[in-house]
Amino acid sequence: MSEPRPSDRHDASDPDETFAEIVDEATQRDPDLAVIEAGSRTLRTRSGPPQGQDVPVRPADPEVDKALRAVEQELAGRWGETKLEPSVARIAALMDVLGEPQRAYPSIHITGTNGKTSTARMIEALLGAFDLRTGRYTSPHVQSITERISLDGSPMDPERFIEAYQDIKPYVEMVDAQQPYRLSFFEVLTGMAYAAFADAPVDVAVVEVGMGGSWDATNVIDSSVAVVTPISLDHTDRLGTTHAEIAGEKAGIIKQGATVILAQQPVDAAQAMLKKAVEVDATVAREGMEFGVVSREIAVGGQLLTLRGLGGEYTEIFLPLYGAHQAHNAAVALAAVEAFFGIGAEQPGALDIDTIRRAFSSVISPGRLEVVRSSPTVVLDAAHNPAGARATADGLSEAFGFSRLIGVVGASGDKDVKGLLEAFEPIFAEVVITQNSSGRAMDADELAAVAVEVFGNDRVQVEPRLDDALEAAITLAEEEDEYAGAGVLVTGSVITVGEARLLLGRH
Protein backbone atom coordinates (compact mmCIF):
# COMPACT_ATOMS: atom_id res chain seq x y z
CA MET A 1 0.00 0.00 0.00
CA SER A 2 1.19 3.50 -0.77
CA GLU A 3 0.61 5.60 2.34
CA PRO A 4 0.27 9.38 2.48
CA ARG A 5 3.68 10.97 2.79
CA PRO A 6 4.72 12.10 6.28
CA SER A 7 5.24 15.72 7.16
CA ASP A 8 8.55 16.72 5.67
CA ARG A 9 8.26 20.22 4.34
CA HIS A 10 6.40 23.52 4.30
CA ASP A 11 4.52 24.36 1.14
CA ALA A 12 3.18 27.87 0.77
CA SER A 13 1.43 28.64 -2.49
CA ASP A 14 2.29 31.85 -4.35
CA PRO A 15 -0.65 33.90 -3.04
CA ASP A 16 0.47 33.12 0.50
CA GLU A 17 4.12 34.20 0.06
CA THR A 18 3.23 37.85 0.52
CA PHE A 19 0.84 37.18 3.37
CA ALA A 20 3.09 38.53 6.12
CA GLU A 21 3.41 41.81 4.25
CA ILE A 22 -0.32 42.45 4.19
CA VAL A 23 -1.28 41.25 7.67
CA ASP A 24 -0.64 44.67 9.18
CA GLU A 25 -2.78 46.33 6.52
CA ALA A 26 -5.54 43.75 6.99
CA THR A 27 -5.72 44.37 10.73
CA GLN A 28 -6.06 48.14 10.27
CA ARG A 29 -9.28 47.93 8.27
CA ASP A 30 -12.50 49.74 9.07
CA PRO A 31 -13.75 48.74 12.55
CA ASP A 32 -17.18 48.01 11.05
CA LEU A 33 -15.77 45.09 9.06
CA ALA A 34 -17.71 41.87 9.48
CA VAL A 35 -20.54 43.34 11.59
CA ILE A 36 -23.24 40.69 11.73
CA GLU A 37 -26.15 39.50 13.82
CA ALA A 38 -25.11 36.27 15.49
CA GLY A 39 -28.68 35.44 16.48
CA SER A 40 -29.71 33.47 19.55
CA ARG A 41 -27.40 30.62 20.53
CA THR A 42 -28.85 27.87 22.66
CA LEU A 43 -26.29 25.73 24.45
CA ARG A 44 -26.64 22.02 23.89
CA THR A 45 -26.39 19.48 26.68
CA ARG A 46 -23.23 18.02 25.20
CA SER A 47 -20.11 20.00 24.39
CA GLY A 48 -17.57 19.78 21.62
CA PRO A 49 -17.93 19.45 17.88
CA PRO A 50 -20.66 17.15 16.62
CA GLN A 51 -19.46 13.62 15.96
CA GLY A 52 -20.96 13.16 12.53
CA GLN A 53 -21.69 9.87 10.84
CA ASP A 54 -19.65 8.92 7.83
CA VAL A 55 -22.30 8.14 5.21
CA PRO A 56 -25.64 6.54 6.12
CA VAL A 57 -26.70 3.19 4.69
CA ARG A 58 -30.16 1.85 3.94
CA PRO A 59 -32.43 1.48 7.01
CA ALA A 60 -32.18 -1.93 8.69
CA ASP A 61 -35.92 -2.00 9.37
CA PRO A 62 -37.63 -3.19 6.16
CA GLU A 63 -40.74 -1.10 6.84
CA VAL A 64 -38.71 2.07 7.30
CA ASP A 65 -36.70 1.24 4.18
CA LYS A 66 -39.93 0.75 2.23
CA ALA A 67 -41.28 4.10 3.45
CA LEU A 68 -38.02 5.87 2.56
CA ARG A 69 -38.04 4.34 -0.91
CA ALA A 70 -41.59 5.59 -1.37
CA VAL A 71 -40.48 9.14 -0.50
CA GLU A 72 -37.51 8.84 -2.86
CA GLN A 73 -39.80 7.64 -5.63
CA GLU A 74 -42.20 10.55 -5.14
CA LEU A 75 -39.36 13.04 -5.19
CA ALA A 76 -37.86 11.39 -8.28
CA GLY A 77 -41.14 11.97 -10.10
CA ARG A 78 -40.52 15.73 -9.98
CA TRP A 79 -38.18 17.80 -12.10
CA GLY A 80 -34.63 16.69 -11.51
CA GLU A 81 -31.83 18.96 -10.39
CA THR A 82 -30.70 19.66 -13.94
CA LYS A 83 -34.11 20.78 -15.23
CA LEU A 84 -34.66 24.34 -14.11
CA GLU A 85 -37.07 27.21 -14.54
CA PRO A 86 -35.02 30.06 -13.04
CA SER A 87 -37.29 31.51 -10.39
CA VAL A 88 -37.71 31.54 -6.62
CA ALA A 89 -41.47 32.06 -6.96
CA ARG A 90 -42.38 28.44 -6.20
CA ILE A 91 -40.08 28.03 -3.18
CA ALA A 92 -41.18 31.45 -1.88
CA ALA A 93 -44.80 30.33 -2.14
CA LEU A 94 -43.97 27.15 -0.22
CA MET A 95 -42.18 29.13 2.49
CA ASP A 96 -45.21 31.40 2.76
CA VAL A 97 -47.69 28.60 3.39
CA LEU A 98 -45.24 26.95 5.82
CA GLY A 99 -45.02 30.15 7.87
CA GLU A 100 -41.55 31.30 6.72
CA PRO A 101 -39.52 28.68 8.66
CA GLN A 102 -36.26 29.88 7.08
CA ARG A 103 -36.51 33.09 9.11
CA ALA A 104 -36.53 31.27 12.46
CA TYR A 105 -32.72 31.06 12.69
CA PRO A 106 -29.62 32.85 11.40
CA SER A 107 -27.75 31.26 8.52
CA ILE A 108 -24.51 31.11 6.57
CA HIS A 109 -25.04 30.79 2.81
CA ILE A 110 -22.40 29.19 0.56
CA THR A 111 -21.99 29.44 -3.20
CA GLY A 112 -19.10 28.89 -5.62
CA THR A 113 -18.11 26.19 -8.10
CA ASN A 114 -15.83 23.87 -6.14
CA GLY A 115 -15.34 23.17 -2.43
CA LYS A 116 -18.82 24.11 -1.21
CA THR A 117 -19.64 20.88 0.61
CA SER A 118 -16.24 20.51 2.28
CA THR A 119 -16.38 24.14 3.39
CA ALA A 120 -19.92 23.64 4.72
CA ARG A 121 -18.78 20.64 6.73
CA MET A 122 -15.91 22.64 8.22
CA ILE A 123 -18.21 25.54 9.13
CA GLU A 124 -20.61 23.08 10.73
CA ALA A 125 -17.81 21.50 12.79
CA LEU A 126 -16.57 24.89 13.98
CA LEU A 127 -20.02 26.10 15.02
CA GLY A 128 -20.71 22.82 16.78
CA ALA A 129 -17.46 23.10 18.70
CA PHE A 130 -18.78 26.38 20.12
CA ASP A 131 -21.90 24.59 21.37
CA LEU A 132 -24.28 25.77 18.68
CA ARG A 133 -26.91 23.43 17.34
CA THR A 134 -26.44 23.29 13.59
CA GLY A 135 -28.46 22.39 10.55
CA ARG A 136 -26.56 21.72 7.32
CA TYR A 137 -28.08 21.49 3.82
CA THR A 138 -25.77 20.30 1.05
CA SER A 139 -26.00 18.60 -2.34
CA PRO A 140 -25.66 16.29 -4.09
CA HIS A 141 -25.49 13.26 -1.82
CA VAL A 142 -22.82 10.57 -2.02
CA GLN A 143 -24.88 7.49 -1.13
CA SER A 144 -28.12 8.39 0.68
CA ILE A 145 -30.57 11.21 0.10
CA THR A 146 -30.73 11.70 3.88
CA GLU A 147 -27.15 13.08 3.78
CA ARG A 148 -28.47 16.31 2.33
CA ILE A 149 -30.13 17.44 5.55
CA SER A 150 -27.98 17.17 8.68
CA LEU A 151 -28.66 18.09 12.29
CA ASP A 152 -25.80 18.41 14.78
CA GLY A 153 -23.35 17.04 12.24
CA SER A 154 -25.24 13.86 11.40
CA PRO A 155 -27.63 13.14 8.53
CA MET A 156 -31.27 13.04 9.50
CA ASP A 157 -32.22 9.52 10.46
CA PRO A 158 -34.58 7.89 7.93
CA GLU A 159 -37.61 8.06 10.19
CA ARG A 160 -37.17 11.79 10.73
CA PHE A 161 -36.53 12.35 7.02
CA ILE A 162 -39.76 10.54 6.13
CA GLU A 163 -41.63 12.55 8.76
CA ALA A 164 -40.20 15.82 7.41
CA TYR A 165 -41.47 14.96 3.95
CA GLN A 166 -44.91 13.91 5.17
CA ASP A 167 -45.19 17.12 7.23
CA ILE A 168 -44.78 19.41 4.24
CA LYS A 169 -46.39 17.20 1.57
CA PRO A 170 -49.89 18.77 1.86
CA TYR A 171 -48.39 22.24 1.50
CA VAL A 172 -46.28 21.15 -1.45
CA GLU A 173 -49.40 19.86 -3.19
CA MET A 174 -51.17 23.15 -2.42
CA VAL A 175 -48.37 25.15 -4.06
CA ASP A 176 -48.20 22.72 -7.00
CA ALA A 177 -51.85 23.43 -7.73
CA GLN A 178 -51.28 27.20 -7.78
CA GLN A 179 -48.09 27.40 -9.87
CA PRO A 180 -47.50 26.99 -13.62
CA TYR A 181 -44.93 24.30 -12.80
CA ARG A 182 -44.82 21.84 -9.90
CA LEU A 183 -42.13 22.27 -7.28
CA SER A 184 -38.93 20.50 -8.34
CA PHE A 185 -37.04 17.75 -6.53
CA PHE A 186 -34.55 20.28 -5.18
CA GLU A 187 -37.21 22.80 -4.17
CA VAL A 188 -39.09 20.21 -2.12
CA LEU A 189 -35.88 19.09 -0.41
CA THR A 190 -35.04 22.72 0.35
CA GLY A 191 -38.47 23.20 1.90
CA MET A 192 -37.96 20.04 3.97
CA ALA A 193 -34.59 21.29 5.21
CA TYR A 194 -35.79 24.75 6.19
CA ALA A 195 -38.84 23.34 7.97
CA ALA A 196 -36.79 20.67 9.75
CA PHE A 197 -34.27 23.26 10.94
CA ALA A 198 -37.06 25.39 12.40
CA ASP A 199 -38.65 22.36 14.02
CA ALA A 200 -35.40 21.13 15.63
CA PRO A 201 -34.80 24.05 16.37
CA VAL A 202 -31.28 24.89 15.21
CA ASP A 203 -29.20 27.84 16.34
CA VAL A 204 -27.71 28.36 12.88
CA ALA A 205 -28.17 26.84 9.42
CA VAL A 206 -25.28 26.21 7.03
CA VAL A 207 -26.76 26.20 3.53
CA GLU A 208 -25.09 25.29 0.25
CA VAL A 209 -26.70 26.50 -2.97
CA GLY A 210 -27.74 23.90 -5.51
CA MET A 211 -26.70 25.90 -8.57
CA GLY A 212 -25.90 29.55 -9.13
CA GLY A 213 -27.25 31.96 -6.56
CA SER A 214 -29.90 34.56 -7.31
CA TRP A 215 -32.59 32.13 -8.51
CA ASP A 216 -31.39 29.08 -6.59
CA ALA A 217 -34.11 27.57 -4.40
CA THR A 218 -32.04 28.12 -1.27
CA ASN A 219 -32.00 31.87 -1.87
CA VAL A 220 -35.09 32.66 0.22
CA ILE A 221 -32.90 33.07 3.30
CA ASP A 222 -31.38 36.38 4.37
CA SER A 223 -27.96 35.27 5.52
CA SER A 224 -25.73 37.71 7.34
CA VAL A 225 -22.67 35.80 6.07
CA ALA A 226 -22.29 34.90 2.40
CA VAL A 227 -19.43 32.56 1.48
CA VAL A 228 -18.07 32.31 -2.07
CA THR A 229 -15.74 29.38 -2.75
CA PRO A 230 -13.55 29.34 -5.90
CA ILE A 231 -15.46 30.00 -9.12
CA SER A 232 -14.65 28.21 -12.36
CA LEU A 233 -16.45 27.38 -15.60
CA ASP A 234 -19.22 24.87 -14.90
CA HIS A 235 -22.92 24.74 -15.81
CA THR A 236 -22.07 27.30 -18.50
CA ASP A 237 -25.33 26.61 -20.34
CA ARG A 238 -27.25 27.97 -17.33
CA LEU A 239 -24.92 30.34 -15.50
CA GLY A 240 -22.86 32.01 -18.23
CA THR A 241 -19.78 31.34 -20.30
CA THR A 242 -17.29 33.56 -18.43
CA HIS A 243 -16.10 33.78 -14.85
CA ALA A 244 -17.68 37.23 -14.58
CA GLU A 245 -21.09 36.04 -15.78
CA ILE A 246 -21.08 33.06 -13.43
CA ALA A 247 -19.93 35.23 -10.52
CA GLY A 248 -22.67 37.73 -11.28
CA GLU A 249 -25.27 34.99 -10.92
CA LYS A 250 -23.71 33.55 -7.77
CA ALA A 251 -23.45 37.03 -6.22
CA GLY A 252 -27.22 36.90 -5.85
CA ILE A 253 -26.83 35.36 -2.40
CA ILE A 254 -25.18 38.52 -1.06
CA LYS A 255 -27.80 40.36 0.96
CA GLN A 256 -28.05 43.96 2.16
CA GLY A 257 -25.42 44.71 4.79
CA ALA A 258 -24.04 41.16 4.84
CA THR A 259 -20.42 40.09 5.23
CA VAL A 260 -18.94 38.33 2.20
CA ILE A 261 -16.16 35.78 2.72
CA LEU A 262 -14.47 35.63 -0.67
CA ALA A 263 -12.09 32.79 -1.55
CA GLN A 264 -9.34 33.36 -4.09
CA GLN A 265 -11.00 34.05 -7.44
CA PRO A 266 -10.22 34.82 -11.06
CA VAL A 267 -9.91 38.59 -11.38
CA ASP A 268 -13.12 39.10 -13.36
CA ALA A 269 -15.09 36.92 -10.91
CA ALA A 270 -13.76 38.93 -7.96
CA GLN A 271 -14.71 42.18 -9.69
CA ALA A 272 -18.28 40.98 -10.20
CA MET A 273 -18.54 39.99 -6.54
CA LEU A 274 -17.13 43.30 -5.33
CA LYS A 275 -19.54 45.22 -7.57
CA LYS A 276 -22.48 43.40 -6.01
CA ALA A 277 -21.11 44.02 -2.51
CA VAL A 278 -20.98 47.75 -3.19
CA GLU A 279 -24.55 47.74 -4.48
CA VAL A 280 -25.92 46.18 -1.27
CA ASP A 281 -23.51 47.84 1.17
CA ALA A 282 -21.94 44.49 2.09
CA THR A 283 -18.49 44.15 3.68
CA VAL A 284 -15.97 41.91 1.96
CA ALA A 285 -13.18 39.84 3.53
CA ARG A 286 -10.82 38.50 0.86
CA GLU A 287 -8.62 35.42 1.03
CA GLY A 288 -5.00 36.50 0.69
CA MET A 289 -5.80 39.93 2.12
CA GLU A 290 -7.96 39.88 5.27
CA PHE A 291 -7.50 36.15 5.89
CA GLY A 292 -5.77 33.13 4.40
CA VAL A 293 -3.33 30.24 4.68
CA VAL A 294 -0.04 31.29 6.27
CA SER A 295 1.66 27.89 6.04
CA ARG A 296 0.91 24.22 5.63
CA GLU A 297 2.79 20.97 6.10
CA ILE A 298 1.85 17.53 4.88
CA ALA A 299 1.12 15.30 7.86
CA VAL A 300 0.17 11.67 8.31
CA GLY A 301 -3.57 11.51 7.70
CA GLY A 302 -3.89 15.09 6.49
CA GLN A 303 -2.05 18.37 6.94
CA LEU A 304 -0.92 20.81 9.62
CA LEU A 305 -1.94 24.42 9.06
CA THR A 306 -1.35 27.91 10.28
CA LEU A 307 -4.30 30.08 9.33
CA ARG A 308 -4.72 33.82 9.45
CA GLY A 309 -8.27 34.68 10.45
CA LEU A 310 -10.10 37.97 10.78
CA GLY A 311 -9.11 38.13 14.45
CA GLY A 312 -5.57 36.80 14.43
CA GLU A 313 -3.39 33.80 13.72
CA TYR A 314 -4.32 30.20 14.47
CA THR A 315 -1.38 27.80 14.65
CA GLU A 316 -0.98 24.00 14.71
CA ILE A 317 -4.35 23.24 13.14
CA PHE A 318 -4.55 19.59 12.10
CA LEU A 319 -6.93 19.00 9.20
CA PRO A 320 -7.54 15.32 8.37
CA LEU A 321 -8.07 16.05 4.66
CA TYR A 322 -5.59 16.09 1.79
CA GLY A 323 -4.73 18.81 -0.71
CA ALA A 324 -3.92 22.51 -0.77
CA HIS A 325 -7.51 23.19 -1.82
CA GLN A 326 -8.74 21.83 1.51
CA ALA A 327 -6.38 24.13 3.39
CA HIS A 328 -7.88 27.07 1.52
CA ASN A 329 -11.38 25.76 2.26
CA ALA A 330 -10.40 25.69 5.94
CA ALA A 331 -9.29 29.33 5.83
CA VAL A 332 -12.60 30.32 4.23
CA ALA A 333 -14.60 28.32 6.79
CA LEU A 334 -12.72 29.87 9.70
CA ALA A 335 -13.28 33.41 8.40
CA ALA A 336 -16.98 32.68 7.89
CA VAL A 337 -17.40 31.53 11.48
CA GLU A 338 -15.40 34.50 12.79
CA ALA A 339 -17.67 36.82 10.81
CA PHE A 340 -20.74 35.08 12.21
CA PHE A 341 -19.48 35.74 15.74
CA GLY A 342 -18.54 39.33 14.94
CA ILE A 343 -14.78 38.77 15.22
CA GLY A 344 -12.87 41.67 13.70
CA ALA A 345 -15.68 44.15 14.33
CA GLU A 346 -17.86 43.61 17.39
CA GLN A 347 -15.30 41.53 19.25
CA PRO A 348 -11.52 41.99 19.42
CA GLY A 349 -9.10 39.08 19.26
CA ALA A 350 -9.38 35.56 17.94
CA LEU A 351 -11.61 32.61 18.75
CA ASP A 352 -10.41 30.06 21.31
CA ILE A 353 -7.54 28.19 19.66
CA ASP A 354 -8.13 24.86 21.41
CA THR A 355 -11.76 24.84 20.28
CA ILE A 356 -10.71 25.64 16.72
CA ARG A 357 -8.13 22.84 16.74
CA ARG A 358 -10.62 20.36 18.12
CA ALA A 359 -13.20 21.29 15.52
CA PHE A 360 -10.93 21.02 12.50
CA SER A 361 -9.50 17.70 13.69
CA SER A 362 -13.04 16.25 13.63
CA VAL A 363 -13.84 17.19 10.02
CA ILE A 364 -14.76 14.50 7.52
CA SER A 365 -15.60 14.94 3.85
CA PRO A 366 -16.66 11.64 2.25
CA GLY A 367 -15.71 11.22 -1.37
CA ARG A 368 -13.04 13.92 -1.27
CA LEU A 369 -9.60 12.25 -1.61
CA GLU A 370 -11.01 9.55 0.63
CA VAL A 371 -9.03 6.32 1.07
CA VAL A 372 -11.44 3.37 1.11
CA ARG A 373 -9.17 0.39 0.58
CA SER A 374 -5.55 -0.70 0.90
CA SER A 375 -3.38 -3.19 -1.05
CA PRO A 376 -3.73 -1.54 -3.47
CA THR A 377 -4.80 1.83 -2.16
CA VAL A 378 -8.13 2.97 -3.64
CA VAL A 379 -8.98 6.67 -3.34
CA LEU A 380 -12.33 8.26 -4.15
CA ASP A 381 -12.76 11.85 -5.23
CA ALA A 382 -15.89 13.52 -6.60
CA ALA A 383 -14.09 15.95 -8.96
CA HIS A 384 -16.42 16.56 -11.90
CA ASN A 385 -15.00 19.61 -13.69
CA PRO A 386 -11.51 20.62 -14.84
CA ALA A 387 -10.77 22.95 -11.92
CA GLY A 388 -11.80 20.31 -9.40
CA ALA A 389 -9.79 17.67 -11.24
CA ARG A 390 -6.65 19.82 -11.18
CA ALA A 391 -7.02 20.35 -7.43
CA THR A 392 -7.51 16.61 -6.94
CA ALA A 393 -4.50 15.73 -9.10
CA ASP A 394 -2.30 18.16 -7.18
CA GLY A 395 -3.52 16.93 -3.81
CA LEU A 396 -3.05 13.29 -4.75
CA SER A 397 0.46 13.85 -6.09
CA GLU A 398 1.42 15.79 -2.97
CA ALA A 399 0.05 13.46 -0.32
CA PHE A 400 0.57 10.01 -1.82
CA GLY A 401 3.69 8.29 -3.09
CA PHE A 402 2.12 6.22 -5.85
CA SER A 403 4.58 4.69 -8.31
CA ARG A 404 1.73 3.99 -10.72
CA LEU A 405 -1.83 5.35 -10.65
CA ILE A 406 -4.82 3.86 -12.44
CA GLY A 407 -7.87 6.04 -12.99
CA VAL A 408 -11.50 4.91 -13.01
CA VAL A 409 -13.60 7.66 -14.59
CA GLY A 410 -17.35 7.87 -15.00
CA ALA A 411 -18.69 11.33 -15.80
CA SER A 412 -21.93 13.13 -16.54
CA GLY A 413 -22.71 14.02 -20.12
CA ASP A 414 -23.23 17.72 -19.42
CA LYS A 415 -19.68 18.28 -18.14
CA ASP A 416 -16.42 19.34 -19.80
CA VAL A 417 -15.18 15.75 -19.90
CA LYS A 418 -12.19 16.50 -22.12
CA GLY A 419 -10.97 19.17 -19.71
CA LEU A 420 -11.53 16.77 -16.82
CA LEU A 421 -9.50 14.01 -18.49
CA GLU A 422 -6.74 16.41 -19.52
CA ALA A 423 -6.32 17.46 -15.89
CA PHE A 424 -5.76 13.83 -14.89
CA GLU A 425 -3.63 12.79 -17.86
CA PRO A 426 -0.25 13.64 -16.26
CA ILE A 427 -0.91 11.44 -13.21
CA PHE A 428 -2.76 8.45 -14.71
CA ALA A 429 -0.66 5.63 -16.13
CA GLU A 430 -3.84 4.11 -17.52
CA VAL A 431 -7.53 4.93 -17.29
CA VAL A 432 -10.54 2.64 -17.10
CA ILE A 433 -13.62 4.33 -18.54
CA THR A 434 -17.00 3.41 -17.09
CA GLN A 435 -20.43 4.89 -16.35
CA ASN A 436 -22.68 5.15 -13.33
CA SER A 437 -26.36 4.31 -13.10
CA SER A 438 -27.60 7.90 -13.41
CA GLY A 439 -29.63 8.95 -16.41
CA ARG A 440 -27.18 11.85 -16.76
CA ALA A 441 -24.18 9.52 -17.09
CA MET A 442 -22.16 9.81 -20.28
CA ASP A 443 -22.15 6.60 -22.29
CA ALA A 444 -18.93 4.71 -21.59
CA ASP A 445 -18.07 4.34 -25.28
CA GLU A 446 -18.60 8.06 -25.92
CA LEU A 447 -16.43 8.95 -22.94
CA ALA A 448 -13.80 6.43 -24.07
CA ALA A 449 -13.61 8.12 -27.47
CA VAL A 450 -12.72 11.39 -25.73
CA ALA A 451 -10.28 9.56 -23.45
CA VAL A 452 -8.44 8.08 -26.44
CA GLU A 453 -7.91 11.62 -27.76
CA VAL A 454 -6.30 12.58 -24.45
CA PHE A 455 -4.46 9.41 -23.40
CA GLY A 456 -3.99 7.47 -26.61
CA ASN A 457 -5.51 4.10 -27.37
CA ASP A 458 -2.96 2.04 -25.42
CA ARG A 459 -3.75 3.72 -22.09
CA VAL A 460 -7.56 3.43 -22.25
CA GLN A 461 -9.70 0.47 -21.22
CA VAL A 462 -13.51 0.43 -21.32
CA GLU A 463 -15.68 -1.36 -18.74
CA PRO A 464 -19.26 -0.04 -18.85
CA ARG A 465 -20.20 -1.72 -15.55
CA LEU A 466 -18.67 0.05 -12.57
CA ASP A 467 -17.98 -3.16 -10.66
CA ASP A 468 -16.05 -4.52 -13.66
CA ALA A 469 -14.18 -1.23 -13.96
CA LEU A 470 -13.09 -1.34 -10.32
CA GLU A 471 -11.92 -4.93 -10.68
CA ALA A 472 -10.01 -4.09 -13.86
CA ALA A 473 -8.32 -1.08 -12.26
CA ILE A 474 -7.31 -3.02 -9.16
CA THR A 475 -5.93 -5.79 -11.37
CA LEU A 476 -3.90 -3.25 -13.35
CA ALA A 477 -2.57 -1.73 -10.12
CA GLU A 478 -1.43 -5.16 -8.91
CA GLU A 479 -0.15 -6.30 -12.29
CA GLU A 480 3.60 -6.24 -11.74
CA ASP A 481 5.81 -6.54 -8.67
CA GLU A 482 7.69 -3.38 -9.58
CA TYR A 483 4.45 -1.50 -9.15
CA ALA A 484 3.85 -2.52 -5.56
CA GLY A 485 3.18 1.14 -4.75
CA ALA A 486 0.39 1.46 -7.30
CA GLY A 487 -3.01 2.94 -6.53
CA VAL A 488 -6.45 3.56 -7.99
CA LEU A 489 -8.40 6.83 -8.15
CA VAL A 490 -12.15 6.68 -8.79
CA THR A 491 -13.48 10.01 -9.98
CA GLY A 492 -15.54 12.01 -12.47
CA SER A 493 -18.86 12.31 -10.63
CA VAL A 494 -20.35 12.29 -7.14
CA ILE A 495 -22.64 9.48 -8.30
CA THR A 496 -19.73 7.38 -9.58
CA VAL A 497 -17.95 7.87 -6.27
CA GLY A 498 -21.03 7.01 -4.23
CA GLU A 499 -21.69 3.82 -6.16
CA ALA A 500 -18.02 2.82 -5.94
CA ARG A 501 -18.14 3.45 -2.22
CA LEU A 502 -20.99 0.98 -1.85
CA LEU A 503 -19.32 -1.60 -4.09
CA LEU A 504 -16.13 -1.37 -2.03
CA GLY A 505 -18.07 -1.92 1.18
CA ARG A 506 -17.49 1.51 2.69
CA HIS A 507 -20.46 2.51 4.87
- List CB contacts of 48: < 8 A, sequence separation 6 or more: 128, 129, 358
pLDDT digits (tens, 9 = 90+) for 413-467: 878 899 999 999 999 999 999 999 888 889 999 999 999 999 999 999 999 999 9
| Calpha distance 429→54 (Å, rounded) | 31
Q: How many CB atoms lie within 10 A of CB 371?
A: 19
Residue 38: what pLDDT?
A: 27
| Calpha distance 258→36 (Å, rounded) | 7
pLDDT digits (tens, 9 = 90+) for 290-327: 999 999 999 999 999 999 999 999 999 999 999 999 99
pLDDT digits (tens, 9 = 90+) for 103-118: 999 999 999 888 899 9
| Crossing angle between the packed helical segments 185-199 and 158-178, to the nearest 10 degrees | 120
| Calpha distance 254→273 (Å, rounded) | 9
Residue 83: what pLDDT?
A: 61
| Calpha distance 371→380 (Å, rounded) | 6
Q: Counting every residue, how long is the chain? A: 507
What is the DSSP secondary structure assignment for residue 245, as one 8-state letter?
H
CB 396, CB 370: distance < 8 Å: no
Instruction: Read off φ and ψ for residue 134, nearest 5 degrees.
Output: -115, 150
Residue 360: what pLDDT?
A: 98
Q: Terminal CA-to-CA distance of the chain, rounded, Å?
A: 21
Q: What is the largest CA-CA distance in the chain?
A: 66
List the chain residues with pLDDT less than 70. Answer: 1-55, 81-84, 233-241, 345-347, 480-484, 506-507
CB 409, CB 434: distance < 8 Å: yes
Give 178-184's long-range contacts (Cβ < 8 A, gap of 24+).
Answer: 178/93, 179/89, 179/90, 179/93, 181/79, 181/85, 181/90, 182/78, 182/79, 183/78, 183/90, 183/91, 183/94, 184/78, 184/79, 184/80, 184/81, 184/83, 184/84, 184/90, 184/217
| Calpha distance 448→474 (Å, rounded) | 19
Q: Which residues of 381-411 are buried (b: 16+ CB within 10 A; e: fewer)?
A: bbbbbbbbbbbbbbbbebbbebebbbbbbbb
| Calpha distance 20→423 (Å, rounded) | 32
Residue 458: what pLDDT?
A: 95
Residue 235: what pLDDT?
A: 56
For residue 19, CA distances in Å to 10, 306, 312, 329 come to 15, 12, 13, 17
| Calpha distance 446→434 (Å, rounded) | 10
Instruction: Tell me whether strands 370-373 and 377-380 are parallel, antiparallel or unpaired.
Output: antiparallel
SS (H, E, C) 46-60: CCCCCCCCCCCCCCC
Mean pLDDT, the chain, rounded, equals: 86
